[in-house]
Every structure is written in structure tokens, then in C-alpha cells.
Amino acid sequence: MQICKSGAIGILEQEAKGEAIICKDGGNRIRTEIRREITDQIIDFLAKANLN
């Protein structure tokens, strides 16, 4: 998921109540940390699969 822009939570709540959850980070980690971990896992997988 992309990082939400400033004010996005308010706009989403006005448009569709409860949908602002897509702008919130889960657990104890911020979205950028989660994205970095997923990216690293994908790179590792592709390197092991030897896909070029």
C-alpha cells in the first residue's frame, strides 16, 4: 500500500466510513519498514530462483 497523503484519513472517512484503515500502520511497525522487509524478501527470492 502506498503511504497516504496528509489529510487522506479525513477524506476517506467522509467518503466511506471505516475505509481510513488503509492509511494506518499495523502493529508496532511503520509502513515503510514493512515495505522494506517485503522488498528484501522478494529480492532474496528472485536471487535464489535465478530469475533474470
Contact predicate 23/8, CB 8 Å: yes
Q: In sequence order, which residues have a C-beta less than 8 Å from that of residue 3 and are 6 or more positions away? A: 31, 32
- What's the pLDDT score for residue 35? 87
For residues 12 and 15, what is the distance between their CA atoms, to the nearest angstrom? Answer: 5
pLDDT band at 13 (very low <50, low <70, confident <90, very high): very high
Tell me the mean pLDDT in the region 19-44: 87
pLDDT band at 21 (very low <50, low <70, confident <90, very high): confident
pTM equals 0.56
Contact predicate 12/19, CB 8 Å: yes
Q: In sequence order, which residues have a C-beta less than 8 Å from that of residue 26 and are 6 or more positions away? A: 34
Coil vs helix vs strand at 50: coil
Q: Which region among 5-9, 11-15, 17-21, 23-27 has the lowest average model confidence (pLDDT)?
A: 23-27
